[in-house]
Amino acid sequence: MSEKNKKEENDLMEKIVSLCKRRGFIFQGSEIYGGLAGTWDLGHFGVALRNNISQHWWKKFVDGRRDMYGVDAAILMNSKVWEASGHVAGFADPMVECKKCHHKFRADQVSEKCPDCGGEFGEVQQFNMMFKTHIGASDDSSSVVYLRPETAQGMFVNFKNTVDAFHPKLPFGMAQVGKAFRNEIAPRDFIFRVREFEQMEIEYFIRSEDWEKYFEYWRGEMLEWMEEVGIDMSKVHELEVEKEDRAHYSSRTIDFEFDFPFGKKELFGLAYRTDFDLKSHRLDYIDEEKGEKTVPHVIEPTFGVGRALLTILLSAYREDEKDGEIRSYLKFKPNIAPVICAVSPLLKNKPELVEYANTKVFAPLKEEFGRVIWDDNGNIGKRYRRQDEIGTPFCIVVDFDTLSDDAVTVRDRDSGEQTRIKVSELKNYIKERI
């Protein structure tokens, strides 16, 4: 990457971080006390965007299918779960410490010299990334539990419960959206690498001879979902992970990488976990069609909510010139946008405009679409700029003409064009465009 391109990418990241704070998407965790490394808080529009992402995922992969069963497992589980899965013994990253400044780094992400001071590194050590705590009133070894480092094991330990409750036939899957925790050595790059994050995961149980077919099937499903939520597919790449770099349970892994401003990095993953997990937990399955007891194999599509959110923000960010000024806006797809439309009275100190806008425009649209907000702060130009940065597809303005012709001005986010629409036609106008 040239120095010019590198600067442009760094500028883009700075613009995204600034916009996220300014418009209430993402804030530094514990900010008034100096923050806490690797933690971030979602503001109002960040929560809305996060929910739209996870709900779209759930609708597509769970509600939209006949072969998928949801679960919401506890974050704290018996420590034997993590012993059986291999996490207690092997969930570690290589770590080095600078002898001069004593800063710590992942050994596989630095060169021979410390990037902070140029000092020499000490020997590589293995650092287990699980957060350990104690449950109950005692603090001896019998009370040790861990904050889960992944959501997958919560599904595996509920495999038998799901089979007993629903009697599914192979192939079938289990899906979960939930928090996971990893004590990252060096969290960085905004919300890309953090210590508390949310996963959307599927464990899809198959017969061993079918693994290649379903691996390709889920590869296609993942790519389709990325496009549906507005990820820039021209920046998505597939990396076939070599054996020495794969997780201990995987026989094949594809990383879907994205061209982030800070480099090409992993976005989502697809793994063939074989029968490792069910064997580790001593779980099997009666395959009635074959009349035999078997241990199903597993295809695992994994999505990170935070990385999806960041990628969608980067993909949606645009700049153009409007009225002689540089305008920044988020070109979200309507199905993902935190807000579908904003309703404004032309003047907030005119009761007749406020009353009409509230009762005849805002209230009906709010009831119909939910993701509708009221905005009467500042002049119309400032409202438009604010809603552009939030990513709102439509701004609806009630003016004095509305009182006589029952029509409003609808302004399109992307083009800036304004169209006069009858209030009675508003719902259909918006439905046709989302």
CATH code: domain of residue 380: 3.40.50.800
Shared-domain flag, residues 240 and 296: yes
Shared-domain flag, residues 81 and 168: yes
In a domain, 96, yes or no: no
In a domain, 143, yes or no: no
Shared-domain flag, residues 207 and 289: yes
In a domain, 125, yes or no: no
In a domain, 140, yes or no: no
Instruction: Give the global pTM.
Output: 0.92
Shared-domain flag, residues 283 and 391: no
4 pLDDT higher than 70: no
In a domain, 164, yes or no: yes
CB neighbour class for 233 (10 Å; exposed up to 12, middle 13-18, buried from 19): exposed
Strand partners, 373: 342
- Domain tally, the chain: 2
In the chain, the percentage of residues whose pLDDT exceeds 70 is: 99
Report the length, in residues, of the chain.
434
Give kind and range of the element (H or E) at residue 272: strand 263-274
73-129 tens-digit pLDDT: 999 999 999 999 988 887 888 889 998 898 888 888 888 889 889 999 998 888 888
138-174 tens-digit pLDDT: 888 889 999 999 999 999 999 999 999 999 999 999 9
3 pLDDT higher than 70: no
In a domain, 139, yes or no: no
Shared-domain flag, residues 43 and 186: yes
- CB count in 10 Å sphere of residue 213: 13
CATH at residue 46: 3.30.930.10
Domain that holds residue 244: 3-85+150-314
Using the 3D structure, point to which of 281, 314, 347 is the last residue of a domain. Answer: 314
Shared-domain flag, residues 190 and 60: yes
Using the 3D structure, point to which of 272, 298, 314 is the last residue of a domain. Answer: 314
Buried b (16+ CB within 10 A) or exposed e, 92-125: ebebbbbeeeebbbbbeebeeebeeeebebeeee
Using the 3D structure, point to which of 277, 299, 314 is the last residue of a domain. Answer: 314
State the average pLDDT for the chain. Answer: 95
15-65 tens-digit pLDDT: 999 999 999 999 999 999 999 999 999 999 999 999 999 999 999 999 999
In a domain, 330, yes or no: no
181-230 tens-digit pLDDT: 999 988 989 999 999 999 999 999 999 999 999 999 999 999 999 999 99
Residue 249: the pLDDT is 86
Q: How is residue 397 written in tokens? A: 């303005």
Shared-domain flag, residues 186 and 57: yes
Shared-domain flag, residues 368 and 299: no
Shared-domain flag, residues 343 and 310: no
1 pLDDT higher than 70: no
Handedness of CA 278, 283, 288, 293 (dihedral sign): positive
In a domain, 99, yes or no: no
> What is the DSSP-derived secondary structure letter of residue 33?
G
CB neighbour class for 349 (10 Å; exposed up to 12, middle 13-18, buried from 19): exposed
Shared-domain flag, residues 282 and 419: no
Strand partners, 409: 397, 420
Shared-domain flag, residues 281 and 390: no
Shared-domain flag, residues 346 and 304: no
